[in-house]
Amino acid sequence: MNKLSDIFFTAASEEGLTYEQILEDVQRYCTANHASKLAGDENSGQAVTLLKEFIEQYLIKRQYAVEGLTTTELCDKLFEDMAGYSFLKKWIYMPDVEEVNVNAYNDIEVIFSGDRSMKIPDKFTSPQQAIDVTRRMLSACGMVIDDTMPSIIGFLDKNIRISVDKTPIVDPEVGINASIRIVNQQTVSREKLRNSGSATDEMLDFLTACIRYGVSVCIAGSTGSGKTTVMAWLLSKVPNNRRLITVEEGSREFNLVKKNKDGEIINSVVHLLTRPHENPSMDIDQSFLLERILRKHPDVIGVGEMRSAKEALAAAEASRTGHTVVTTIHSNSAFATYRRMMTMCKTRHAIEDEILMQIMVEAYPIVVFTKQLEDRSRKIMEIIEGEDFTDGKLRCRSLYKYDVVDNHTDADGTATVIGQHRKIGNISDVLRKRFLDNGISAKELSAFITQREDG
């Protein structure tokens, strides 16, 4: 900088600049003197260390200070705003955070495990800064967002998915909207599901019996309903002596390897990820991996989500050939799930509706429907058993159901939903025989064939 600029910024620092003014000046300084480091690989430890040293020296030279922050803390904050994920990094990697939603550059909401949400005080200084930060986040996972592709889905880490929209899809004064979803496996436990009211002990025992004794399960619901949480917990119940192979698309949300106190692996788990490619012949999708998996002698197969006709039919056929399959699908009710599977397959396969429905009912005897209620609590709303599809009619029986007793909203707008889970009916004789053939004890089975209600 020239002497006139030096005089200006020295005078300004004596009067006290705002953080935004300091950020603008430091960014101008780094762009003019250290542009290569600013644009370099954020994961390069040496480059980050050097750039932070230059920033800190510049802060000391200018005598810049922000109330409540040491020089080192101010340096770290400036670096994140210029070359990192800004304040989002703090929230994304904070324990118990499940989702960060950017509604606009100045409106950010965080959702915690346990269904608690809050608007955070942090915000971007402008729509452009919000765009710049999300561009860096997407760049880290090899994605580019611009006017030709203003809507992008990427994966920041093996368990972090980001979906971003920018102008012209959103208004210029908004900048971006983004949904950053984080799956924290350490929060998934039987106690959490029970204590949060997501399910009763008997429901969890029943699902555990399904995964142990060879009954495939499809978990249905809308986005954010808790499907992945239930699936992760259920797959964690696979006995250690059974071979479990999971297939996920884009990012790995499951971490099911178990270790003893000495760090030795005690179960048998293989995690696989799809790998999309511009050349279709080199694309490794879920149906490709499912075909390979069947040659690896799996006992249980976990398919992250049914997204297309290919994988829906491939997963169903895997279940019908004697493997236990657990998967998820978007659906708006338990009974609608089988038809949702059927219509998905119809987009690619010229198979009669009745045959497709019979395939899906046979492949997934149990459907679990999850939902996020108005008070943001997540519940298993219903568990059904599919029995058959004949003469155009689906034969199902409801086993467990959540009944809403009351739903009221306080003066401050906080909703409270009151309800209870009930045992509705017994499993069918066919499913009972299947459990027995696969080794369940009469005592364990009795809980699922004795009619009673759970409050």
Task: Please give the structure tokens belonging to residue 141.
Answer: 């996972």
Integer Cα distance of 80 and 72 in angstroms: 12
Residue found under tokens 């259920």: 234
First to last CA, the chain: 73
Integer Cα distance of 30 and 166 in angstroms: 27
Integer Cα distance of 399 and 41 in angstroms: 54
Integer Cα distance of 316 and 294 in angstroms: 12
Phi, psi angle pair for 222, to nearest 5°: -90, 175
Which are the contacts of 174, defined by CB distance < 8 A and separation ≥ 6? Answer: 103, 104, 105, 127, 167
Least Cα distance to 393 among 348, 426, 361 occurs for 361
List alpha helices for 3-70, DSSP H: 3-15, 19-33, 35-38, 45-62
pLDDT per position in the chain (455 positions), as tens?
444 444 444 434 445 788 888 888 888 888 777 666 555 544 456 777 888 888 888 889 888 988 888 999 888 888 888 878 888 988 988 888 888 999 999 999 998 876 678 999 999 988 988 998 888 888 877 788 888 889 988 777 767 888 999 989 999 999 999 999 886 654 578 888 898 899 999 999 999 999 999 999 999 999 888 898 899 999 999 999 999 999 887 667 788 888 999 999 999 999 888 876 667 777 788 888 888 888 888 999 999 888 777 778 888 888 888 899 999 999 999 999 999 998 888 877 778 888 889 999 999 999 999 999 988 889 999 999 999 988 888 999 999 999 999 888 888 778 888 999 999 999 999 999 999 999 999 999 988 886 544 44
Looking at residue 312, its pLDDT comes to: 82
Looking at residue 6, its pLDDT comes to: 46
- Three-state SS at 280: helix
Helices 19-33 and 71-83: angle between axes, nearest 10 degrees: 70
- Three-state SS at 5: helix
Task: Please give the structure tokens belonging to residue 404.
Answer: 């809403």
Looking at residue 114, its pLDDT comes to: 67
Element (H, E) at 390: strand 378-390
Looking at residue 453, its pLDDT comes to: 45
Residue 267 is given by DSSP the state S
List alpha helices for 260-308, DSSP H: 286-293
For 163, 204, 224, 282, 401, the CA distances from 373, given in Å and listed in that order, are 23, 20, 10, 42, 14
pTM score of the predicted model: 0.74
Q: Output Rg (C-alpha) for the chain, integer angstroms.
A: 26
In this structure, what is the dihedral angle of CA atoms 16, 17, 19, 25, given to the nearest 10 degrees?
A: -140
Phi, psi angle pair for 381, to nearest 5°: -80, -30
Looking at residue 46, its pLDDT comes to: 75
